[in-house]
Amino acid sequence: MRPSLALRLAAVLAIVAALLPLQAVALRRGWRSAERIPVRFHRLLLRLLGVSVTETGRPPAPGTAVLFLSNHVSWLDIPVLAALLPLSFIAKSEVAGWPLVGLLARLQRCVFVDRSRKVATSEVNAIVARRLGSGDAIVLFPEGTTGDGIRLLPFRSSLVGAARTALLTHAVETIRLQPVALSYRRRHGLPITRREMPQVAWYGDMDLAPHLAAIVRGGPLDVTVAWGEPILLDAATDRKHATAAAEAAVREALAGIRAQGGPVL
């Protein structure tokens, strides 16, 4: 018998209350546990939500400077990826102000971008370049927004410029761009259909709280994370070409997942 919605949400809050101060102290003191605590938190969160993750391909070794370029389907993308290895995310500035979520994002060292400001891209590129130069792994959702889980939106290359900035300003010879494909394949062991995808995908003007409750009530969910072959970016690489190559790799990976029995689209 599955625990009730209220019980599982209470468990999530209890875990947050226990780990949040530990993470704050670990970050302030520079402890290595600051990388491990978020991974453990997200693994526990996925277990409580009934989410199982299958990986294909090979992720980078811990401590590798990498900019992941991933499709974006749902708020679930964050715990799914963050449960697999230590990393941070590039997120819209509004997330920083969300109750609890914003605090958790800051404790995971997420980088916030204010798209309403013209200089935001260059400022974020400088921050991400510095992080990449120090060996961090950062996730960028280059579609710029969540999609409906059916179509892949065009990848934008502007924030991929952070990798070029790292090459120019941090004495790094190459930066690893790694495509990542996320596919929410099955619920209760059955393929998710086009009609059912809005129960998983979070996009448009959907409210977060009702969607979270629907995920919790909806039953076991299977997700595939496909790690693509890395694209090595050096001083001679065109960022637009590299971004287009990453988009093509994600598109191909999603098609491969569907061919193996993924969602009926």
Return the structure tokens found at 231.
């694209």
> What residue type is assigned to position 162 of the chain?
A
Q: Is 141 domain-assigned?
A: yes
Q: Which two tokens stand for residue 5?
A: 């919605």
- Assign residue 229 the CATH number of its domain: 3.40.1130
Alpha-carbon span 69 to 71, nearest angstrom: 7
Positive or negative: CA dihedral 65, 124, 234, 82: positive
pTM exceeds 0.75, yes or no: yes
Task: Check pLDDT > 50 for residue 1.
Answer: no
Is residue 42 situated within a structural domain?
no
Residue 160 lies in a domain: yes
CA distance 246 to 175: 14
Q: Give the residue among 68, 64, 44 at the shortest CA–CA distance from 226.
A: 68
Classify residue 198: in a domain, yes or no: yes
Pairing of strands 51-56, 221-227: parallel
Pairing mode of beta strands 190-191, 88-92: unpaired
Tell me how far the alpha carbon of residue 265 is from its chain's centroid: 23
The one-letter code for the residue type at 55 is E
Residue 71 domain-assigned (yes or no) = yes
The tens digit of pLDDT for each residue in 137-169 reads 999 999 988 888 888 999 999 999 888 888 877
- Residues 180-223: tens digit of each pLDDT: 999 999 988 888 888 888 888 888 778 887 787 788 777 789 99
Counting residues of the chain whose pLDDT is more than 90, the rounded percentage is 46
What's the gap between Cα 59 and its chain centre?
14
Alpha-carbon distance 35 to 262, whole Å?
32
- Asked if the structure places residue 12 within a domain, the reply is no
Count: domains in the chain: 1
Interacting residues of 219 by C-beta distance below 8 A, sequence separation 6+: 2, 50, 187, 188
Q: Which domain holds residue 210?
A: 50-259
Structure tokens at 104: 């958790």
Judge whether residue 173 has pLDDT over 60: yes
Note whether residue 111 is domain-resident.
yes
Residue 210 lies in a domain: yes
